[in-house]
Amino acid sequence: MPSNKSVSDAPIVQFTNCRILRGHQLQREDLWVREGKILNPEKLFFDEKGSADIQLDCKDSIIAPGFIDVQINGGFGVDFSLATDDFKSGIDLVSQKILSHGVTSFCPTLVTSPPSVYHQVLPQFSIRNGGAHGAGILGAHLEGPFISKEKKGAHPEHCLRTFEAGAFQDLLATYGSLDCVRIVTLAPEMKRSSEVIQELTKRGICVSLGHSVANLSQAEEAVQHGATFITHLFNAMLPFHHRDPGIVGLLTSDKIPAGRTVFYGMISDGIHTNPAALRIAHRAHPKGLVLVTDAIAGMGLAPGRHTLGQQVVEIDGLNTYIAGTKTLSGSVATMDTCVRHFQEATGCSVETALEAASLHPAQLLGIEHKKGTLNYDSDADFLMLNDGLYVQATYIAGEEVWRQDALGM
């Protein structure tokens, strides 16, 4: 057998009998992996004269990039917005459990909280690669407290804040540190929000618009200052109105800077957004749609009472409400469920449904050169799925980290 040791001693794994999502379509070809990266087989054959050390028959599975969840508040009894001494073990548990739902990277999300919570919790965050221990952590998503009282949703009103004279210093004082922060959701109609958006963007932090009563021109101004995301479109914002479509109008705005894409999160659980609204958004701006779970601590648990930060929530089936009200408070849907519901509700292709949970969030975070695709040299974070888009196995850096047992296939 020709030697491939000249480049690396690491074993080369060839995944055969599969359909790979590459170049926006499922292609019947093999996937080659070495040292956690996806290989170009032509270079391997012709430059290295190499071949596979291990061949794995995928039994006609779909191979797609791992899912990336940029808005997840917790799950399996863990609430990321609760300051606890064993916060690290909670985040480890969630990162392990979401592997079975195809999530290979995520942004743990904190809802509006008192400064003391941010000061205690954020230093315990660390950005890390995924592996057998669980999904990779891309950085925190801080949703609030600089949001609108009128559209607070499940966020506690007594913790909401506005920007005072030293707007960015206010934000720093509230959070304590931005070291591991990847996304900040704020309401763009707030005074002095423009300077905050510019400062966050300068630091490579993605600014998302949400929990807001902004009109379209305020939303467009925020995008011109650097905002690139909309937090759970339709939820906690002014409803679409034909004379002023508000934040929703960004999907078809002609005031977006050239070369910029505005992405938007959708909670595709069949509850937060009517399937018709999901279809409208997708048809208006398909390349910007990012599936998010907005999952809370009750995801994966039995119905009953659970927490979301400072609030008590009640789970009834797939509905989650602030206790004693009919205010929706996050979701208990898993990412693979959201992908399947999205495809069913919109009638989109399998490729489109999978990219909304992988390529688009990677593009939003500017990491599409290594995550969210199966291009050569990108990270070998991928899923095996059946034709019904049920996850059969999850791989991170080319290593199997979860597999559906034989009984569940």
Residue ranges for the known binding site for Zn(2+) are 143, 211, 232
**Bridge-based pairing state of the strands 391-396 and 382-385:** antiparallel
316 is catalytic: no
In DSSP terms, which residues pair with 316 in a beta bridge?
319
Q: Which among 294, 336, 379, 381 is annotated as catalytic?
A: 294
- Intra-chain end-to-end CA distance of the chain, in Å: 35
Q: Are the C-beta atoms of residues 266 and 235 closer than 8 Å to each other? A: no
Q: Is 231 exposed, middle or buried (0-12, 13-18, 19+ CB in 10 A)?
A: buried
Cis omega before residue 11 (within 30°)? Answer: no
**Bridge-based pairing state of the strands 140-143 and 103-111:** parallel
**Helical pair 275-284 and 335-346, crossing angle rounded to 10 deg:** 80
Q: Residue 124 phi/psi, 5° resolution?
A: -85, -5
**Bridge-based pairing state of the strands 136-137 and 103-111:** parallel
SS3 68: strand
Question: What's the rounded Cα separation, in Å, for the pair 203 and 14?
Answer: 40
Neighbour count for residue 319 (Cβ, 10 Å): 16
Annotated active-site positions, please?
294
